[in-house]
């Protein structure tokens, strides 16, 4: 099986940007629209300088009859600008939100295929903040940056065009300032990228602290964790604030620094322009219009120099999103497919460790389970029972030795096909938002026969409490099923497994939350269900495993005993000792 992959390497800015542009491509039409709209906007800026030239000239020449068209012209110019702003903003935001939506859904889809080791290494808060906050930041690089390039860029082009047309030599003074501006911008954008990464991390910390406190609110309160959690959250939020302020400082220093450079260019310009030799060639209107246009150009120029800081924010976000997308999905290279396996299982010298650098959790396990038989795994907690069970659906990969299902190595099965063959009930029952019936007929079983759902609910003794609820099986069980007791939730999980009717059944402490009485009831139901399918039962209460065809005792990842209840008791070994212990307790 595949080795654990390394996290994705950091991509260069341009590579990240190119990759991002792939998402933008399908919306080229909206781009063209926004380009045209922002071109209108840019033209209106140049036109307003031109308009001023006409006004001043008209006043100077006493041509006051021109006031009608000059008044109409100003309305026209602002109408152009208004239309350009609206259409341009709309079109570019459309692109931006589409890209965010696609990135976000793709990220989620990727998360659905990542191996469990990925989830073991990361906090849910970190993953949640990637899906919510980081993805949203990408708009900086696509929408805001492109909007600035188009709107301010086209305005600058329009104004410069007009300036060149009026007096190209004077206009060249601006060019002198360019390299100085470039230096300031480069320094600012480097810092911005670094700060953005830290900001993202701090958002992850906030989500983490919050979600843990929300989920574990009872533990927090009873163990006096309120103060600790408060401090943790306040610290995370304060870190976030500080990172944000550092970004603001960077951005706010960038702007006036650039502004000062532009002002110096403007001062030089004015000084030279008012030289008699230069002024002579221009009308007053032209001169005023020239200075106005030169003044107008500073705002979009400044916005353009802010561009790279905006882009850096977006790139830092895209980077973190692409990092997840580049994670290797669960290995699924097998081609073997069957409608329904018989269920014969064979473990052949299986050794497993969670990480390369850790001790093995399972040592050279040999175990044969004939089809349709029930094997009970018992042993102290931490002995490796759940780990052994988790190998069957390939939740954990990378074992050595062989695990065969119907004589075929597990990794040769198509992952989806393999998992179709297995029903699982474990200790942590997960209930989804929806009704009890929807929770039983979950996933691929959604929309299955109502009768069947009912029968499964009956068999798992769900009806016992569902009948007492006003809406029966149609009762909403809410986000975390707070309405139900642990035992009731477990019964729903068992009903789900019964309904799946898979040839291999794994019950990992499936009845641990039930009282002895209910367990005995369900035990009968489960015995019915176990008939004709290969079952792996893990249970602490030995009374529930007595009837298993074979009992396997695990200790520190090794099989220390194996046999039926009767033979193991007679042997007087580990199992017999465990058994005596439990019944002495009662």
Contact 278, 170 (CB under 8 A): yes
Per-residue x/- track, 101-140, ligand ADP (CB under 6 A): -------------------x--------------------
Q: What are phi and psi of 357, to 5 degrees?
A: -90, 10
**Is residue 426 a contact residue for Mg ion (CB under 5 A)?**
no
Query: β-strand 422-425 against 550-555: which pairing, if any?
Result: unpaired
- Span from 253-261, 380-388, 514-522, 544-552 in contact with Mg ion (CB under 5 A): 380-388
The 3-state DSSP class for residue 278 equals helix
Map residues 8-37 to x or -, x wherever contact with Mg ion holds by CB under 5 A.
Answer: ------------------------------
Structure tokens given for 369: 């389970």
Which CB atom, from 48 or from 386, has the smaller least distance to Mg ion?
Answer: 386
Asked if residue 460 lies in contact with residue 505, where contact means CB atoms within 8 angstroms, the answer is no
CA distance 438 to 431: 10
Question: Tokens standing for 507?
Answer: 């019950």
Q: How many residues bind ligand ADP (CB under 6 A)?
A: 11
* Per-residue contact flags (x/-) with ligand ADP for residues 347 to 376, judged by CB under 6 A: -------x------x---------------
Strand order, beta sheet including 374-378: 422-425, 504-508, 534-538, 374-378, 550-555, 558-563
Q: Tell whether residue 155 is a contact of Mg ion (CB under 5 A).
A: no
**How many whole angstroms separate alpha carbon 145 and alpha carbon 519?**
62
Going through 390-530 in order, the beta strands assigned E by DSSP cover: 400-405, 408-409, 422-425, 504-508
Q: How far is the CB of 359 from ligand ADP (least distance, A)?
A: 9
Residue 384: name its binding partner from Mg ion, ligand ADP, none (Cβ under 5 to 8 Å by kind).
Answer: ligand ADP
Strands of 25-97 (E only): list them: none
Identity of the residue, 310 or 388, whose beta carbon is nearer to ligand ADP in the bound complex: 388
Q: Contact between 421 and Mg ion (CB under 5 A)?
A: no
Binding mask 379-418 for ligand ADP (x = CB under 6 A): x-xxxxxxx-------------------------------
Which residue, 6 or 381, has its beta carbon nearer to ligand ADP? 381
Which residue, 120 or 234, has its beta carbon nearer to ligand ADP? 120
| Angle separating helix axes 28-60 and 67-113, nearest 10 degrees | 160
Q: Is residue 383 a contact point for Mg ion (CB under 5 A)?
A: no
Q: Which does 361 bind (CB under 5 to 8 A by kind): ligand ADP, Mg ion, none?
A: ligand ADP
Q: Which of 193, 204, 155 has the alpha carbon at shortest distance from 17?
A: 193
Please, what is the minimum distance in Å from the beta carbon of residue 487 to Mg ion? 18
Q: Kindly tell me which of 386 and 511 has the beta carbon lying closer to Mg ion.
A: 386
Q: How many residues would you count in the chain?
A: 586
Nearest to 318 by CA among 97, 113, 11, 6: 11
- Residues engaged in binding Mg ion (CB under 5 A): 386
By the criterion CB under 6 A, which residues form the site for ligand ADP? Answer: 120, 354, 361, 379, 381-387
């Amino acid at each position: 099986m595949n080795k654990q992959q390394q996290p994705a390497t950091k991509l260069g800015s341009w590579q990240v940007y190119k990759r991002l542009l792939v998402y933008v491509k399908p919306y080229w039409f909206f781009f063209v629209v926004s380009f045209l709209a922002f071109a209108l906007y840019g033209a209106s800026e140049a036109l307003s300088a031109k308009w001023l030239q006409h006004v001043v000239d008209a006043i100077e020449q006493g041509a006051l009859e021109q006031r009608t068209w000059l008044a109409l012209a100003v309305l026209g110019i602002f109408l152009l600008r208004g239309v350009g702003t609206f259409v341009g903003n709309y079109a570019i935001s459309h692109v931006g939100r589409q890209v965010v939506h696609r990135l976000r859904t793709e990220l989620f889809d990727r998360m659905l295929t990542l191996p469990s080791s990925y989830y073991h290494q990361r906090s849910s808060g970190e993953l949640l903040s990637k899906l919510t906050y980081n993805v949203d930041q990408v708009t900086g690089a696509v929408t805001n940056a492109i909007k600035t390039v188009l709107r301010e860029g086209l305005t600058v082009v329009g104004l410069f065009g007009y300036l060149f047309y009026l007096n190209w030599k004077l206009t060249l003074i601006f060019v002198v300032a360019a390299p100085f501006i470039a230096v300031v911008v480069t320094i600012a954008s480097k810092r911005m990228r670094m700060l953005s990464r830290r900001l993202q991390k701090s958002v992850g910390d906030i989500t983490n602290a919050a979600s843990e406190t929300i989920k574990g609110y009872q533990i927090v309160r009873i163990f006096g964790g309120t103060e600790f959690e408060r401090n943790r959250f306040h610290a995370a939020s304060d870190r976030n604030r500080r990172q944000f302020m550092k970004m603001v400082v960077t951005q706010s220093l960038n702007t006036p620094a650039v502004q000062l450079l532009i002002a110096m260019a403007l001062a030089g310009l004015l000084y030279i322009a008012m030289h008699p030799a230069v002024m002579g060639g221009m009308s007053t209107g032209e001169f005023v219009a020239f200075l106005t246009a030169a003044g107008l150009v500073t705002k979009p120029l400044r916005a353009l120099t802010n561009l790279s800081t905006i882009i850096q924010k977006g790139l830092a976000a895209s980077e973190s999103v692409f990092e997840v997308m580049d994670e290797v999905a669960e290995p699924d290279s097998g081609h073997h497919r069957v409608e329904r396996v018989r269920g014969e299982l064979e473990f052949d010298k299986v050794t497993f460790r969670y990480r390369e650098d850790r001790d093995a959790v399972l040592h050279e396990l040999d175990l044969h389970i004939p089809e349709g038989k029930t094997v009970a795994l018992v042993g102290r907690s931490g002995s490796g029972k759940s780990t052994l069970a988790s190998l069957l659906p390939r939740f954990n990969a990378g074992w050595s030795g062989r695990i065969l299902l119907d004589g075929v190595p597990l990794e040769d099965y198509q992952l989806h096909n393999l998992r179709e063959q297995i029903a699982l009930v474990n200790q942590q029952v997960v209930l989804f938002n929806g009704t009890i019936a929807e929770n039983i007929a979950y996933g691929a079983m959604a929309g299955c026969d109502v009768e069947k759902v009912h029968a499964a609910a009956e068999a798992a003794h769900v009806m016992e409490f569902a009948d007492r609820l006003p809406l029966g099986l149609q009762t909403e069980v809410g986000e975390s099923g707070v309405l139900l007791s642990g035992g009731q939730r477990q019964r729903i999980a068992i009903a789900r497994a019964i309904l799946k009717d898979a040839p291999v059944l794994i019950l990992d402490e499936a009845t641990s939350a039930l009282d002895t009485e209910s367990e005995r009831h369900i035990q009968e139901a489960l015995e019915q269900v176990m008939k004709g399918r290969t079952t792996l039962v893990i249970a602490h209460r030995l009374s529930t495993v007595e009837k298993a065809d074979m009992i396997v005792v695990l200790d520190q990842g090794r099989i220390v005993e194996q046999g039926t209840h009767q033979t193991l008791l007679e042997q007087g070994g580990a199992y017999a000792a465990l058994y005596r212990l439990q019944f002495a307790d009662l």
